[in-house]
Every structure is written in structure tokens, then in C-alpha cells.
């Protein structure tokens, strides 16, 4: 894939990639010169401009300008692909293998598809890659050494490792299957950049927030960065040690993290220090928000926090006889029992005083009816049973005749 890196050249972004075409080799230079000289109507042409060399081979002098990089690698791969097919056909001709369309021409639209009879011969010719074979397909193309293994995969090729600098792209090494990644020597210009980085003192803004940045107890007796301690202080020291630059910690004057004023549209806090150029880097527990990302760049967060709910870890215990009481507290169960007994007692007393609950008992035929033999179905046990049935919503065989009975149970 071809990417225009001109926009990233001055931003200081760390861009590293691989390059398949080596513009300093003689073969790509010769072919590009032929494409440049030929008429575009007669022969396909790729507009590859070869930049001027800077005098240092390790700088990848042909890649000094991002616009000078090949605009389309598919042209180089297409060129090598066509040449592979040509080499395969020449190899078959040397072996006197007929690859004409006579006989079985194949039919790709058939169901099932009928392959071309000579297709297997071309496939074998493409896979002839061993050096001992006299009719092997192996050559130097625009993308380097073109060679295939027994499975049809390309092998023995080289990728050039390039890196974006402020003045363009430079070659920093190469990779192949045998030697793997081989870095080249550090160029003098890169060494000068490191020297310039070390000669400058960067301002690192931060905020007093325990345990990230804190003042030492004896900070009045100390100078510079030694006055502070904390996680962010150690993090800033490790970053400076790894990159190789001098820095100075500076506590933000207003003691704020950074927000934009809705009226003036001005930033305060550490974000304002970065936006208005009063600081180079901010190392602090600063939350990444969408509004802040519009004006400053964030690194990967060193800490990710989230809202959580902590509960006590339940203790595993064997269920007992009264485990069914666990869903409710004992006070609630006691209230339910007292309410059950109270409703039953009230129902018993009301049925005793009400004349509607007294009635004559039905006797068998042939027996005489006593004068004052009346019964009441709602004794204390029947009242308890009726209340329990109503509580369990199962019903009962008896029901009160007085209207106050169902009203009491409904309130229950």
C-alpha cells in the first residue's frame, strides 16, 4: 500500500514501515528510466521520480522526499508477475512441453469447472525454484529476488525497513528470511538530532495530587526535580532516561487540570499550558476526554479506572432446617405471625358476637330438632385455618357470612 507521508513529516510522528522496491538498485533504476523514455501510448508507464542523493547511502537517498516514493507498488508487482509468466512459458518451451490451446481448452463456467489441460504444467514450471534445476523460474525483478517454493509461496526476498524523519524517509535496516532484521549503522544526521534533543531542557507540567505528585517533607532544602516524589515523578524520570533528554518539573500555577471557558474559549490548567506553548509535556493523572483530544494529543493511559460496586463475599454454608427464612429478616417474619394470629382472633370474636354466624345444625331424618341447638362454624381452629388458607391464597371450605370477615382478609 502506498501512503503519502508528507503530512506526517513535520509532526514528529514515529512512522516505521517496510519497502519492497529498492530504488538504489540498478535493475529498478534501469527499468524506470525505460518507462520514462517510452511513449505512454505504446507502453504502460509508472511515474516514479528518483530523488537526488544526499551523499549518504544509509539515508536511503532515493527516498528523501515522500512524494518521490513509488505511487503504486502494484505496477512493480504486475511487472514482476508478467515476467514470471513469461519465464514459465520459456521454461516449458525449453522442455518442449506443448501449452497450446489444442485439445482440452477448459471451461471455467461449467459445473463442475473443467480445468485447462496444460494448467498443471504451468503450475509445475512456476514451482521449479531449486537451484539445481536447469529450468527454474528465478530472476531479479523490480521487487527484488523473485523465487517460489514448492507450495507456491514467494521466498528469498528482502524488505527494506524505513523510518519517517523530519526531512523525509530514511532506510534504517532490512529484513530477509535468513538474517531476519538487520539494522544499519546510525547516520550522522540522526546523531545530530539526538544531540539537539539532549541539549534542550523540556518543561514538564504537572499538578500536586497524591500519590502521583507530592512535595517532599524537606523540599525547601532541595532544588529542581528532587523536591517532588510520586508515581508521575518517577514516570517522567523513566521517560526522560529512555528518550534521552533533560526536563524540569513545573507545577501548574492555577492548580487545575484543564477546562475551556465557555465565554472566552480559553483553556486553563495543564491543558492551557500545553495549548499556549508554556509547557512541552504533561505528566499527571489527567482524564482523557473528547474536548481535550481536540487540542492536545494523549499517550496510552497508564491507569484505567471504572465505577464499581463492592459487596461482602458471601460465606458458603450448608442449608439448615430454617433456611427458608433467610430471604426475610426475623422481625418481618414475627410481624407476619402476629398479624396472622391477630386476624384469626378478631375473626373468631366477631363471628361469636354476630347472629349471622349462628345456625341450626342439620340432622338426619327421623331425629327431633332441639329447641336451642345452634352451632358456629368459626371456632378458634377454623378461624386459624381460614386465615391460613387466605394467606396462602388456597381458599377454604367454609367462609364467613358477615361482610366484615372478607373485608378483614382483604386488608390483610
* Mean pLDDT of the 179-200 span: 65
Q: Give the residue, 406 or 269, on which the prediction is more confident.
A: 269
pTM over 0.75: no
CA distances from 262 to 89, 134, 265, 266, 268 (A): 73, 78, 5, 8, 12
| pLDDT score of 412 more than 70 | no
Q: How confident is the model at residue 409 (pLDDT cuts 50, 70, 90)?
A: low
The share of the chain scoring above pLDDT 70, in percent, equals 72
- Please give the pLDDT value at position 65: 39
| pLDDT score of 128 more than 50 | yes
| Start-to-end CA span in the chain (Å) | 78
CA distance 57 to 189: 12
- Please give the pLDDT value at position 36: 72
CA distances from 78 to 83, 84, 107, 143 (A): 8, 10, 26, 10
CA distance 62 to 82: 26
Burial of 328 (0-12, 13-18, 19+ CB in 10 A): exposed
| pLDDT score of 406 more than 80 | no
Q: Which of 132-141, 152-161, 202-211, 389-398 has the highest mean pLDDT?
A: 202-211
- Please give the pLDDT value at position 59: 40
Q: Give the residue, 191 or 58, on which the prediction is more confident.
A: 191
* Mean pLDDT of the 255-264 span: 92
Q: How confident is the model at residue 318 (pLDDT cuts 50, 70, 90)?
A: confident
- Please give the pLDDT value at position 84: 83
Tens digit of pLDDT for each residue in 224-247? 899 999 999 999 999 999 888 899
Quickly tell me which residue has 373485608 as its cell.
407
- Please give the pLDDT value at position 316: 81
| pLDDT score of 195 more than 70 | no
Tens digit of pLDDT for each residue in 71-109? 457 778 888 888 888 887 777 777 777 666 555 556 667
- Please give the pLDDT value at position 151: 75
Lowest mean pLDDT among 11-20, 32-41, 43-52, 389-398: 43-52
- Please give the pLDDT value at position 24: 73
Asked if residue 247 lies in contact with residue 281, where contact means CB atoms within 8 angstroms, the answer is yes
Nearest partner of 347 among 304, 385, 290, judged by Cα: 385
Q: How are the residues of the chain apportioned to helix, strand and coil, as percentages rounded to the nearest 5?
A: 35, 15, 50
Mean per-residue pLDDT of the chain? 76
* Mean pLDDT of the 253-262 span: 93
Q: Give the residue, 373 or 192, on which the prediction is more confident.
A: 373
The share of the chain scoring above pLDDT 90, in percent, equals 21
Enclosing H/E stretch for 175: strand 168-176
Tens digit of pLDDT for each residue in 36-64? 777 555 555 445 444 443 333 444 443 43
| pLDDT score of 349 more than 60 | yes
Q: How confident is the model at residue 196 (pLDDT cuts 50, 70, 90)?
A: low
- Please give the pLDDT value at position 73: 72
Q: Give the residue, 46 or 312, on which the prediction is more confident.
A: 312
CA distance 197 to 192: 9
| pLDDT score of 185 more than 50 | yes
Nearest partner of 67 among 82, 51, 90, judged by Cα: 51
- Please give the pLDDT value at position 85: 82
* Mean pLDDT of the 294-313 span: 86
Q: How confident is the model at residue 121 (pLDDT cuts 50, 70, 90)?
A: confident
As given in the structure block, the three cell numbers for residue 367 are 331425629
Amino acid at each position: 500500500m502506498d501512503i503519502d507521508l508528507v503530512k506526517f513529516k513535520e509532526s514528529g510522528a514515529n512512522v516505521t514501515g517496510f519497502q519492497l522496491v529498492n530504488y538504489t538498485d540498478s535493475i529498478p533504476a534501469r527499468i524506470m528510466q525505460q518507462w520514462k523514455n517510452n511513449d505512454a501510448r505504446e507502453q504502460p508507464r509508472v511515474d516514479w521520480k528518483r530523488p537526488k542523493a544526499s551523499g549518504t547511502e544509509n539515508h536511503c537517498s532515493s527516498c528523501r522526499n515522500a512524494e518521490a516514493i513509488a505511487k503504486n507498488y502494484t505496477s512493480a508487482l504486475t511487472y514482476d508477475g508478467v515476467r514470471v509468466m513469461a519465464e514459465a512459458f520459456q521454461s516449458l518451451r525449453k522442455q518442449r512441453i506443448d501449452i497450446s490451446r489444442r485439445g482440452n481448452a477448459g471451461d471455467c463456467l461449467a459445473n463442475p469447472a473443467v480445468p485447462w489441460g496444460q494448467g498443471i504444467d504451468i503450475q509445475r514450471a512456476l514451482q521449479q525454484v531449486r537451484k539445481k534445476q536447469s529450468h527454474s523460474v528465478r530472476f531479479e525483478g523490480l521487487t527484488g529476488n523473485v523465487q517460489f517454493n514448492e507450495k507456491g509461496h514467494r521466498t528469498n526476498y528482502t524488505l527494506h525497513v524505513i523510518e519517517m524523519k523530519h526531512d523525509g524517509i530514511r532506510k534504517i535496516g532490512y529484513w530477509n528470511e535468513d538474517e531476519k532484521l538487520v539494522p544499519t549503522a546510525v547516520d550522522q544526521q540522526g546523531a545530530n538530532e539526538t544531540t539537539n534533543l539532549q541539549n534542550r531542557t523540556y518543561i514538564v507540567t504537572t499538578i500536586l495530587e497524591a500519590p502521583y505528585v507530592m512535595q517532599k517533607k524537606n523540599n525547601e532544602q532541595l532544588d529542581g526535580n528532587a523536591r517532588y516524589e510520586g508515581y508521575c515523578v518517577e514516570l517522567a524520570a523513566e521517560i526522560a532516561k529512555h528518550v534521552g533528554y533533560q526536563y524540569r518539573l513545573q507545577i501548574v500555577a492555577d492548580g487545575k487540570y484543564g477546562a475551556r471557558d465557555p465565554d472566552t474559549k480559553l483553556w486553563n490548567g495543564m491543558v492551557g499550558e500545553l495549548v499556549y506553548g508554556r509547557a512541552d509535556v504533561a505528566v499527571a493523572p489527567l482524564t482523557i476526554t473528547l474536548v481535550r483530544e481536540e487540542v492536545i494529543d494523549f499517550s496510552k493511559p497508564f491507569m484505567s479506572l471504572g465505577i464499581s460496586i463492592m459487596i461482602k463475599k458471601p460465606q458458603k454454608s450448608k442449608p439448615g432446617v430454617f433456611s427458608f427464612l433467610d430471604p426475610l429478616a426475623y422481625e418481618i417474619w414475627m410481624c407476619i405471625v402476629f398479624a396472622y394470629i391477630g386476624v384469626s382472633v378478631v375473626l373468631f370474636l366477631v363471628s361469636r358476637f354476630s347472629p349471622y354466624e349462628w345456625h341450626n345444625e342439620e340432622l338426619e331424618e327421623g331425629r327431633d330438632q332441639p329447641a336451642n341447638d345452634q352451632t358456629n362454624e368459626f371456632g378458634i381452629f377454623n378461624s386459624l385455618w381460614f386465615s391460613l388458607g387466605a394467606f396462602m391464597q388456597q381458599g377454604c371450605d367454609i367462609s364467613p357470612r358477615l361482610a366484615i370477615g372478607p373485608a378483614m382478609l382483604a386488608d390483610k
